[in-house]
Amino acid sequence: MELAVDIEKGSAVPIYAQLSEQIRLLIRRGALSPGDSMPTVRSLAVELGVNANTVARVYRDLQRAGLLRLERGVGTFVAENGGGRAVGEKDFRSIARKATELIDLGRRAGLRVGELTQLVETLWKENANVEG
């Protein structure tokens, strides 16, 4: 099985974080469904050109988070109740549109991707504190 992930080795975002977040997003989008088989650690590492230990760490952490389940001798699968509800396609398209607008604004203002990412993370945390 091939995963629709795109790792940017020159990115300021560590490979581990890129892979972990992209798998989480595939699950939330419904592109990976409960029970789906995941590629083996070795095959995904080769496909992406990354260290197998990095992939193994991502799988372990996603398993601890309840998103993946490991069946020894069989493989790794998307967990039945992992990740919460899938984001509907309409909602996902709306989020993607808004994110594209934000990226365009950030570029026009001269922000780098890391700066824009940090801004979003900071605002996310501030908003969570307001709601909590």
Domain range for residue 57? 15-78
The pLDDT tens digits for 53-91 are 999 999 999 999 999 999 989 999 999 876 666 677 788
Q: Is 69 helix (H, G, I), strand (E, B) or coil?
A: strand
Q: How many domains does the chain have?
A: 2
CA atoms in the 13 A half-sphere facing the CB of 24: 15
Q: Token pair for residue 118? A: 């940090």
Q: Is 100 helix (H, G, I), strand (E, B) or coil?
A: helix
Q: Token pair for residue 111? A: 């922000």
pTM for the model: 0.75
Q: Which residue has the tokens 């995941």?
A: 38
Kindly state whether residue 49 falls inside one of the protein's structural domains. Answer: yes
Kindly state whether residue 10 falls inside one of the protein's structural domains. Answer: no
Averages of pLDDT over each 10 residues, the chain, 132 residues: 85 91 90 92 95 96 94 92 70 88 94 88 83 54
At 87, the amino acid letter reads V
